[in-house]
Each structure stands twice: as C-alpha cells, then as structure tokens.
Structure 1
Amino acid sequence: MPRTTLRPGQNTRTPPRAAPALTALCMGICAAAALTACGGSDSSGPSLPFIPTSPPPAGPTTPTALACDESLKTAFKPDANTTVTVVKQFKQGDDLNLDGKASGTVAASDVCMVKLNVGPGHAGPADAPSTSSGIGIEVWLPATAKWNNRLRVLGGGGFVGDAGISSKTQIGGAGAAAIATGEGSVSAVTDAGHASKLPIGAVDGSFAMNPNGTINTTLWTDFASRGIHEMAVKTKALAAGFYQRDAKYAYWDGCSTGGRQGHMQAQVNPDDFDGILAGNSAINWTTFITAELYPQIVMQRDLGGTPLTPDQMTLVSSAAVSACDSTLTGQHEGFISDPAACKYDPTQDTAVLCTGSGGSNATAACLTTVQAQAVNKIWYGQTRDGSAPVPASDVGYGATLASGQLWYGLARGTALNSPGMPGFSLADSTGGVPNPFPIAAHQVALNLQDPTIATPDFINATGNGANNWKALSYTQLANASDRGEALQTAFANINADNPDLARFRDRGAKLLTYHGLADQLIPNSGTANYYERAAKAMGGIDETQKFYRYLEIPAMGHCAGVGSVNGLAGVSPAANPPLPAPNQLFAALTDWVEKGVAPDNLVLQNADQSLARPLCTYPKKLAYLGGDVKAATSFACR
C-alpha cells in the first residue's frame, strides 16, 4: 500500500473553554509517592483526590509528568475502574500500527497513543454480544511542544462498537490520530462500552439485549451517555498528567450518532465541554430509527415485497429535483434549496409513470401508479396506518409533526438508493434485494424485545435475527415506535431529546449544530423539531441563539457530500452545491467559544468555487435578491 501522511479528517471540528480540569487529581496520580492515593468513581464524574490522614512531608513536591511508556500503566490510575491497556509512542514518519504490519499511514508528527478500559462492563458468557469488559477509549496526545491546549474528541456512528478501539493489536481512532498529529489537539474516541464482532460494528445492536432476551440496561447506559462522559473525564485527566497543565478548551466534534452524543453531553454532562459541534444528529433515536424501517414495510405491504429497483429510485428522485430546483432563483441548479416548497407528486408525473399507468415512460425504470404512491408514503414518513395525504396539501416536512404522522420521511430529491431505503444490502449496495438498514431492524427488535425481527446478523441466545420484520403490519410498526418511547428509562434516555439546556447555557458553553437537507438517513425535520422545542424551553429563539445555533445546509447528505440526486439530463445540471469546507464549521465554533464571534456570516462554496451562498441560521432561510446567481452577495438570510 502507498504510504500517506495522516492529516486532520475532513469532517472534524473544534472545541470551547474546558471546565476546570483535573490538574490536582493528576498531580497526585502522577507523583511516584501517590500512586495509590485515589479512590473510585462512578459515571457522574471523576473521584476526588485522596486526603492523607498524616501530614504531608515538608517542602514543595514536584509531581512527575506521565511518560509515554509502560510506566504509564501504573502511574495513571484515576479510579478503581480505569486501566491503561496499551501505550505506544510514534515518532514523525512512523507507520501507525500496533501489530507490526504496515498500514501505509504514517504519523505527521510525534504522538503518544494510550488505550484505556473503564469498567465495570457487563458480565456474561464469553461469546455473548452483551458481555463487555468495559468502555474502550483510545487517546492521542501530541508532543508537548505541539499541543495547542485544546481537547477535541470525536463522536461515533450508528451503534458504535468499533472493536479496534479496545484492541491491543489494532488502531481504532485514525481520525483522532490525524487531529493530534495535524492540528495539535489532544483527541480521543470510544467504543461506548461494547466491541462488536461484526465486520461493521456500527450496525450491531445485539449488545443491548441480554442472553435471556431482556434489556441490557448497563450497556444501554454506557452507550447512551456514560461512555462519552468517561472519555471526556479520562482524556482531560490524562492530558493534565502528561503535559502538567490543564487543557484550556475542550471540544466535542461528532456527526450522526456523534451528533446525538453531543446533544446528550449538553443535556446530561454540561460541564464536559466548552463547545459542541453536532451534525446530522441521531437524536429522537428510537423514533427515527424505527421509522427507518417504514420504507421497507411500505414495500412489503403495498408492493408485495418487491422493492423498487435502483433505476426506479434514481428516476423518481431526480424528477423531484428537476421539479423543485428552480424555486429559489428561477434557474435549474441540480439541487433543492428549500425542501418545504417542493410538492412534487410522482403519481401526477407522466414522464415517470409507465405507459400502463397513463404515463409516457416506456423504460424499465418507469413507475406504476401504485409504486409512485409508495414513494409518496416513503417521503411523507411513518404513519400508524400507512396512509399519506396528497403532496399538494401536505408533504410531511417541517418542524411540527402532522396529525397521524409518527415521524418524518426523507426530503424529496434525496437519494433513495441508500442504507435506509428499499433494496439496500450491506453486501451488495446495487440493491434489488429487500434488505433493510440493519440498524433499523435491530432497533425494532430491541423495542419489541424479539430478536427474530432483526436481520440474521443479530445474535442472541433466545434466537437470532430471522428477518421477521417482513411480516410487520403498519400497526405493529407503530406499536414498535410507541414501545421505544415507553422504554426510554430502560434505554438510558437514548433519544437525547430533553429541551432543557439551562445548565449548559449557564456555564457559558456553546452548541453549534448543522444538518444536511438531503440527508439519506436522518430526516433533518427531526433536528428542527428539537430546536423549536429547545428554543421554547430556553426563552425563545433570540435567547437560545446566544448559546445554541442550528444551520441547515441545502443538498448536503449524511454528514458530508451531496445527498440529492442529479436532475434529469437536459433539465437540471449535475449537482454541485456549496458545502462546508474541511474544518470550516469547527473553526466557526472555536471562534464563538474563544473569541466571542458568533457564526453569523458564514459563506459556503462549491467544489470548484464557482458558486457561493450564505449559510443561514435557523429559522432563517435563503432568499434571492437578484443579480448573479453564483455570487453570495446576491442572497440574504431572511
């Protein structure tokens, strides 16, 4: 493999002013004479330093800084639950590996990697997914001279569970390593309390069910909140001991599940971070993930289990783009700027409908009227009875759920041939097989406490996944959504939808969130819904925007890239929308936290810098003033 220098990841972000760190604790830990001078801690935070019963020796004590070698395994013991499992020093130019097998990626600068395990985990049979030794954390510490006095830890995706993070022979945090060696921030990642045996651990929810089929409340808590809190606390303590000073600012940077984790930190552990960057957030977890199975149920119930083909999904999505991509400027742009204004209805589009359904499309990609209505249902979102109003009256998009609407669907024009859509298979992403996104089937199985509903990769002693999701009716899927809400206590409040952010606000921290309006997995209306509720609880939009802002990004997909389908050839051009540059939003967060400069005047550019647009802060929307449609000055946020 070619050797490449590791640099900061494209989707990483920046941090705010850290709460008073753990210098006193770490000084005690790091001193050779005080290796046993700490008590235990729980998930609510670090333990307090041990207070000796006899007077300390006279004269000043010079603590010893933690070293990046095997001595750290005994020198760093912040509590009884925490163990250092791996310490590795990498010099600039070293290949980043732990097993002697070249990865092809080299360190851009000197860096120390430390792996931690924070118990107690969850006991059980050795081969059970619900058995865990504890929370795995991988921390990357730049050289002392390079450290910028920041922490910038990263969030996870899906169910997390990356086995590489706790492994003694693998590296799990390539993104964290890039941040440490590139920008000089201390960075870290966590497996959130479990290590999956599946090739893609993020889709594996079987850890959350005990072998007897009951809910594993311990690992739900580690996954929902304790894992990320422990990562924050232990990373601060490790940095303070390593550098002999506290971090000045601590930041969270995550998208998808990482966005949910960021919201959870603001709600539950507001002292952990000075600034939180949360993108395309997987808040409303049980509700929106249950709704991710809804398109599959539409295929089963309305189309006899025969999914739309990739060509059909591309045709109908691109037709929606062509119908709605000129509403802002009057010119076709290849992407939709305002999904709320798009009322495209494929059941009325003769260019999409098959000739047998009164249309003019004679290709294999055409849709029957029944198939077109199924697409309308998917776009509208989950309802209790599988119904959907005509798009002219309600497209199901917005901050408020309509009567009978359990959750939102994806915005019109978003790529339908994606993990959340009919026909997706992890083994064969070309589609054609009615496989659901595994996360959705796993979560519904957990909501109903029936493993057989999941896909076959869900492993449990009471029975493995057996694709019984196929037999679910609309009413039964609605019941699964209700059960997910009812089980929030057992699920450790995984939905992260508490609008009370008073403690986070009162300590002066900042929360910057964003969501792509063409997200293929998580409908952006869910974020708008939460923001509206939070604003109401926090004294209104103006008061809320003093510490919490939400940015909607037209055409952006799940966390990055273009999520909309190009318009029909000859009608709309290929999509080339303005999107955030690497670290642009993170830099906006650090400026807000460290300089008091609010993100009011952000401008996005497209890939070739031929088009620029202002990025509006919700609830404002982009308005065209006239003039050059490619110039940012031709637009305003209103």
Structure 2
Amino acid sequence: MTGLASSTSTGGAASSLWVAKCVHKSYVFPNATLVSVDALPSGSVIQLPYGPDLCANAGVTATATSDLCRVVVNITDTPGSSIRIDAWLPADWNGRFLATGNGGIGGCIDYSGLQTGAQLGFATLGTNAGHDGEVGFDFFLNQPAVINDFGYRAIHVEAEFGKQLIQHFYGRAPATSYYHGCSTGGRQGLQNAQLYPADFDGVLAGAPGIDWLHIVASKGILARRIGWPDLTSSAYVRPEQWRAIVAHQIALFDPLDGLADGIIDDPARFRYDPALAACGGTALNSSLCLEPDQVAAVRAAYEPLTDGSGAIVYPGFSVGADTSVFSANQLNGTARLSYRVLDDFWRGAVYNDSTWDSLNFTVDDMDFAIHLNPGGVGFRETDFSATHARGVKIMSYHGQADQTITPALSAEYFTKVQASTGLDATAMADFYRLFFVPGMGHCSGGIGATDIGQKYPLDPTRVDADNNVLLALVDWVEKGKAPDMIFGARYASGNVLQPILASRKHCPYPQRSKWNGVTNSNLSTSWDCVF
C-alpha cells in the first residue's frame, strides 16, 4: 500500500519476512486513517510530500537510514483537526521511541529528525502539527482546532499514537520515550513536558521558543525601532550597515574572552555603544557609518522589549548575531519584512484577518496577542513540579550567536524554572541541563564547534554520548549519567564527512567553557568548564 510519498531503492533489500511484517500488517487505530505503508531498505530515496512552496527547508527527498517500515497516518480525534504522523520503524529497533517537533509555524514534518532517529535505531515519529506548509496564514483562518494542534495538541497526539503503534508493530511497548525538537520544536517539547509529564522520559529542547509570541513580535518591534517602514527616515539603518555593525561588535568583544577566533563566547556580558560607529570616527567608513538618529536607532534595537505598561517582557537582541530577522526588511525598494512568521500568524491566528499587514505593527498588537494567546503558543509556564516528580530529564542547547531567539531567554527561563519548581542547584542539575554553544546560530551552523550531533547527517565517528546530545540524554535517563559536558566539532566545509578542524567542550549552565590559554585552542582538551 502506498500513498503520500513514494520511494526508490538504492540500498540492499530487507528480508522478505521484514517486508511482509511491514506491508501485510493491519494498521487499524481509533480516529486514524492510514495514508501509506512502505517497506524501505536502507539507502532508499524517499520522495517527500512537500514542494518548495510549502516547505522550502524540508528538501525534496530524504534517505532511509536503516531498513525500516514507514507508516503514514492522519489522526482526526477532534472536530476540525487532522494531524499527519509519519512513522519510521527500523528493523533493528533499539527499544526506544523518539518523537520530533517542528520549526516556525509548523506545517512540515522534520525529516532530518526522522533520518537521525532511524539511523540510531529509534522508532521515530514526525508530525506536521496539524496543517501543511511553513508559509501562509489561510490554514489558520477560522480554524481554532488547527491553531490548538500547532499550539499544544500535536506533540501529545504524536506521543500517544506513537506508543500505540510501537506496541502494535513490535509487540511490546517502548522501554523509554524521548522527544527532540528545536526552535518551535523546543517550545513544543518543554510545553508538552509541563502539560503531559507522562509522555516522555527525556526531552531535548534546542533553542526553545518559549514565550513564542514575544519572540515573533520582537521582529516587528525591532524593525520599527530602526526606522522601518519609512526607508527614507533619518533613523533608518540600512541592511548593509547592520552587517558592518555586527562585524564591529565581533572585533570589539571577541578578543575579551582570551581568544580571537571570531566568536563572542558569552554575548550577554557585553553592551554595545553604537556611538563608536558614528560618522567622524574610524570604526566604519563614510558609506556605512551612523548619523546621529541612526546611533539612537541602533541603541534602541539592543534594548529589551517592553509591553504597553513599560514592563520588560523579552531580553535584548544579542551582540554579534546576524540581525537579518529584523534588518532584512526591503523588497524591490519597498518596506517588507523577509521574516514572514509575524505576518502569517497575526493574520491567520491572532486577528483572523487576511488583510492585516505587519507594516502597522505596534506594541498594542503584541500585547493583544499575548492576552489572546491563540493555541497556547505563548507558553511561558515555569512550574515543572509534576514533570520533576515523575523523573523526566530535560536537556536544552542554545547557540550564543542565535539570530532568531535571543540566548538570554534560555538563561532567564532556566532560572525561573528552578525557582518555580523549588529546586536547589543540585536537584536542578539532576533534572534540567542547559548547554550554550558559542558561535552557533539558530539550532545549528555558525563558525564555532557547533556540531553536537543535533542534526542530520551524523558523523559516524561521533555517535556516542560524549558527542551527541540525544545519546547524552539517553545515558542520563537510562544510566543516571548526567552529561557534565558535550563535545562540539567544526568540520572542513561544514561537512561531517570532512576532517574535524576544531573541537571544544560545551558546559552545563551556569558553567561556561574557557580556553586554558596555553595549548592548541582547536583541541577539546584545551578547554575547561568554569563558573
């Protein structure tokens, strides 16, 4: 039986018994409609169901990373809701269940996560969070169930169905259950752990988009602070000026951690004075330097967000990070944010109005959305008492050069969770560990040793708990071995099959990694975890 997507075999054939078990098994579950079933040998090329108009970042194909049975279903357990689940069930199953989340406004199954999970032997599931497409607003218009699916339901449905499917397919329940998602997926994981503590034994939350509405709103607020949408304003700071400003910040602050490597290890330590880049000085040339109103605009851009009452609601943007989420705001000479999540979500889910436009975005629009909190996407709960009591382990990682979600948000949230859950430092370290990764952008990438096994493809020489965050979480849950460090790597050409150019220890917050100042900084042994 085939349906949603097809595959072509480029690997060896799976055993006939395995194929028969996959394709001839009955897949009848409450509120579930079977879309397709395929027995796929390792190496099979899978044509994905998304075109570039729906999921530009998903790619056209994925690779079966083990002999697996792929089962695709639609879950319709609530009126107005249809949640697609894509399950990859490896023949060589390790007894574990892995669920994955989404990015942005959802709508795209995380096939990178499916490939990683199946390669490591997990029965791995992905979900579209209740709609198809990472760009658009129409799927939210007049669709409260779809908004709720994206907000909080889809991951719980994925968890419950995944356990049913695994029991049915393998004849036994998973021994342990895990979740991994980044950005929106990080928010989904933490929110699910707080709402449904029994779903997973371990949650891996990358760059978690908790307080999601403030995160998205910040792009419009910061754009307005720098003179947008009036591109002729004396305060407007052009995109090419921002690139020079960020380079200036790195030149100023990078050497202060003891190593000039192009990376600001801990950007929260620094405040940038844009007067240093003013015209008449030597920092920037005459075509890029800042006029007086631009100096004020840049200064404002790095201030925290405040709501209508003047209360601080979101940390300031990080120095050294790419500013394009708010400074890429022109299209053919007219004002338009390249970051479309703001327009899409406010049109479809906040105002239910297809004519609304972010050109008019104000703090009032932000505050209205926070009050409405459609689908619970503004999740910022910090009391994890029930989650902690059940013995769940939470790991989080966040790039210090994250251009989309300010890393300071993760530090603030970690502290608030500890206070609300009533844990001392020792108990918190046995429950929730946060790793900052210097030089990492949003979820991955960057010039530092930013590969921690969080993204497909994996380096086959680093598939262990020291070098892979998911396997570190597994060791913590199943062996009680809490990760005291994670080793990151930087590869030639950013390719995990190329030589490693640098390695570095990444340490659990509030510790940070520090170069010893003596031995080769490209060696992980040259870095220590310090407070």
Range 81-90 or range 515-524, more displaced: 81-90
* 1:544 has 2:439 as partner: no
* 1:315 has 2:244 as partner: yes
Which secondary structure state, in structure 1, belongs to the residue aligned with residue 369 of structure 2?
Answer: helix
Which secondary structure state, in structure 2, belongs to the residue aligned with residue 492 of structure 1?
Answer: helix
Match in the other structure for 2:299: 376
CA distance in 2, matches of 1:423, 1:607: 29
CA distance in 2, matches of 1:241, 1:179: 23
Match in the other structure for 1:184: 121
CA distance in 1, matches of 2:87, 2:154: 14
CA contact (8 A) 2:141 2:349 kept: no
* 1:517 has 2:400 as partner: yes
Match in the other structure for 2:463: none
Deviation at 1:514, TM superposition (A): 1.1
Q: Identity percentage over the alignment?
A: 27
Match in the other structure for 2:161: 234
* 1:438 has 2:340 as partner: yes
CA contact (8 A) 1:311 1:365 kept: yes
Match in the other structure for 1:135: 83
CA contact (8 A) 1:309 1:432 kept: no
Which secondary structure state, in structure 1, belongs to the residue aligned with residue 166 of structure 2?
Answer: helix
Distance 1:276 1:323, change over 3 A: same
Across the two proteins, how many residue pairs are aligned to each other? 484
User: Any residues of structure 2 matched to 1:80-479 within 5 Å, and which?
Assistant: 81-97=31-47, 106-120=63-77, 122-123=79-80, 134-143=82-91, 146-162=92-108, 174-179=111-116, 181-195=118-132, 201-210=133-142, 216-300=143-227, 304=231, 308-329=237-258, 331-347=259-275, 349=276, 352-355=277-280, 361-384=284-307, 404-417=311-324, 420-424=325-329, 434-445=336-347, 449=351, 451=353, 464-465=354-355, 467=357, 469-472=358-361, 477-479=362-364
1:248 aligned partner, one-letter code: A
Which secondary structure state, in structure 1, belongs to the residue aligned with residue 153 of structure 2?
Answer: helix
CA distance in 1, matches of 2:265, 2:63: 40
2:134 aligned partner, one-letter code: A
CA distance in 1, matches of 2:442, 2:178: 21
Give the alignment partner of residue 417 of structure 2, picking from 534, 550, 554. Answer: 534
1:288-319 deviation per Cα after TM superposition (whole angstroms, max 9, x unaligned): 21122112222446965665433211100010
User: Any residues of structure 2 matched to 1:41-56 within 5 Å, and which?
Assistant: none
Gaps of 5+ in 1: 7-64, 124-131, 163-171, 196-200, 211-215, 387-402, 452-463, 563-575
**Structure of greater relative contact order (alpha carbons < 8 Å, 6+ residues apart):** 1
Give the alignment partner of residue 78 of structure 1, picking from 22, 29, 38. Answer: 29
CA contact (8 A) 1:335 1:555 kept: yes
Give the alignment partner of residue 499 of structure 1, picking from 368, 372, 382. Answer: 382
CA contact (8 A) 2:350 2:372 kept: no
CA distance in 2, matches of 1:92, 1:119: 31
CA contact (8 A) 1:302 1:374 kept: no
Which secondary structure state, in structure 2, belongs to the residue aligned with residue 482 of structure 1?
Answer: helix
1:338 aligned partner, one-letter code: D
Match in the other structure for 2:55: none
CA distance in 1, matches of 2:87, 2:365: 38
CA contact (8 A) 1:263 1:496 kept: no
* 1:588 has 2:472 as partner: yes
Distance 1:601 1:361, change over 3 A: closer
Could you tell me the TM-score, scaled by structure 2's length?
Answer: 0.82
Give the alignment partner of residue 371 of structure 2, picking from 474, 483, 486. Answer: 486
1:536 aligned partner, one-letter code: A
Match in the other structure for 1:621: 512
Deviation at 1:623, TM superposition (A): 4.5
Gaps of 5+ in 2: 1-7, 12-18, 52-58, 455-467, 493-499
Deviation at 1:103, TM superposition (A): 6.5
Deviation at 1:633, TM superposition (A): 4.0
Match in the other structure for 1:17: none
Which secondary structure state, in structure 2, belongs to the residue aligned with residue 534 of structure 1?
Answer: helix
CA distance in 2, matches of 1:103, 1:404: 45
Distance 1:184 1:316, change over 3 A: same
Distance 1:424 1:95, change over 3 A: same
* 1:560 has 2:488 as partner: no
CA contact (8 A) 2:101 2:110 kept: no
2:193 aligned partner, one-letter code: A
Distance 1:432 1:542, change over 3 A: farther
CA distance in 2, matches of 1:190, 1:610: 35
Match in the other structure for 1:34: none
Distance 1:84 1:383, change over 3 A: same
Range 552-561 or range 82-91, more displaced: 82-91
Range 237-246 or range 442-451, more displaced: 442-451
Distance 1:254 1:230, change over 3 A: same
Distance 1:554 1:85, change over 3 A: same
CA contact (8 A) 1:325 1:335 kept: yes
Which secondary structure state, in structure 2, belongs to the residue aligned with residue 406 of structure 1?
Answer: strand
Distance 1:408 1:629, change over 3 A: farther
Deviation at 1:260, TM superposition (A): 0.6
CA contact (8 A) 1:519 1:558 kept: yes
Deviation at 1:335, TM superposition (A): 1.0
Match in the other structure for 1:572: none
Which secondary structure state, in structure 1, belongs to the residue aligned with residue 36 of structure 2?
Answer: strand
CA distance in 2, matches of 1:320, 1:104: 39
1:179 aligned partner, one-letter code: T
CA contact (8 A) 1:518 1:556 kept: yes
Deviation at 1:98, TM superposition (A): 7.7
1:376 aligned partner, one-letter code: R
1:144-179 deviation per Cα after TM superposition (whole angstroms, max 9, x unaligned): xx11111122111111113xxxxxxxxx55325423
CA contact (8 A) 1:518 1:557 kept: yes
1:100-142 deviation per Cα after TM superposition (whole angstroms, max 9, x unaligned): x99675534322111111114555xxxxxxxx5x111111111
CA distance in 2, matches of 1:302, 1:226: 36
Distance 1:236 1:448, change over 3 A: closer
CA distance in 2, matches of 1:279, 1:441: 24
1:621 aligned partner, one-letter code: R
Distance 1:612 1:181, change over 3 A: closer
Deviation at 1:424, TM superposition (A): 4.5
CA distance in 2, matches of 1:89, 1:78: 20
Distance 1:365 1:122, change over 3 A: farther
2:194 aligned partner, one-letter code: Q
CA distance in 2, matches of 1:67, 1:541: 49
Distance 1:317 1:116, change over 3 A: same
